[in-house]
């Protein structure tokens, strides 16, 4: 029994030593590659967390899949030259999403909200829509940067809820409460807040 234990221990030690040597060789190789390309030198001390706002107002988005270099995106809440507000990336289209600088005036039933966004002509754009449930969640996550949302909580017919385009049958649709992020489906005849997206 002792011989087997010693043999197992020796094998474990050899494997540990080999893996340590391999890591050291790999680390030396990475250092050499970084020395050849100083623009790619990154350490855990210098790389910000994904989502960190940089001093120039952009947000660190991680390493580019194409170039391997750090990539940055516009920060949510930035006012665009046309007056729209950058809201983030749509999880549905993987494209930049923009919103209006303020909520639509008043509160709306779901059908009124859909009509309002479809008819909206703002900042030279005519392609406004009620955001999807995923796009609404992006607006909620970036609400502090975008600004101007109703965060009063749940009040009948003066809601801190915002409409999404996601319907539940003929009578209900999903909304999101902007005081705490709670999603709920409720009657399309309920009146709620609205922030159009494009």
Q: What is the pTM of this model?
A: 0.65
Contacts 24+ apart (CB under 8 A), 181-190: 181/137, 181/140, 183/133, 183/137, 186/161, 188/109, 188/110, 188/111, 189/109, 189/110, 190/109, 190/110, 190/156, 190/157, 190/159, 190/161
pLDDT of residue 157: 59
The predicted-structure confidence for 83-129, as pLDDT tens digits, reads as follows 999 999 899 998 999 999 999 999 999 999 999 999 999 999 999 99
Three-state DSSP at 17 gives helix
Are 83 and 99 in contact by the 8 Å Cβ rule? The answer is no
* Residue 158 pLDDT grade (very low, low, confident, very high; cuts 50, 70, 90): low
Name 184's bridge partners: 175
pLDDT, tens digit, 9 for 90 and up, residues 25-61? 333 333 333 333 344 444 556 778 877 778 877 777 7
- CA pair distance 99, 195, nearest whole angstrom: 7
Per-residue pLDDT reduced to its tens digit, 163-187: 999 999 999 999 999 988 888 898 9
First to last CA, the chain: 72
């Amino acid at each position: 029994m002792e011989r087997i234990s010693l043999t197992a221990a020796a094998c474990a030690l050899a494997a540990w030593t080999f893996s340590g040597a391999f890591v050291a060789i790999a680390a030396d190789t990475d250092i050499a590659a970084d020395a050849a390309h100083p623009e790619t030198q990154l350490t855990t001390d210098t790389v910000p967390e994904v989502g960190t706002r940089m001093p120039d107002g952009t947000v660190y988005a991680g390493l580019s899949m194409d170039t391997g270099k750090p990539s940055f995106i516009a920060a949510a809440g930035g006012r665009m030259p046309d007056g729209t507000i950058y809201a983030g990336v749509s999880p549905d289209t993987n494209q930049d999403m923009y919103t209006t600088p303020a909520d639509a005036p008043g509160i709306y039933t779901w059908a009124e909200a859909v009509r309002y966004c479809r008819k909206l002509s703002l900042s030279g754009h005519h392609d406004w829509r009620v955001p999807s449930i995923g796009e609404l969640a992006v607006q909620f996550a970036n609400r502090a940067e975008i600004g101007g949302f109703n965060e009063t909580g749940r009040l009948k017919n003066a809601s801190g809820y915002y409409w999404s385009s996601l319907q539940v049958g003929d009578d209900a649709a999903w909304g999101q409460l902007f005081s705490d992020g709670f999603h709920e489906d409720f009657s399309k005849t309920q009146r709620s807040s609205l922030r159009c997206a494009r």
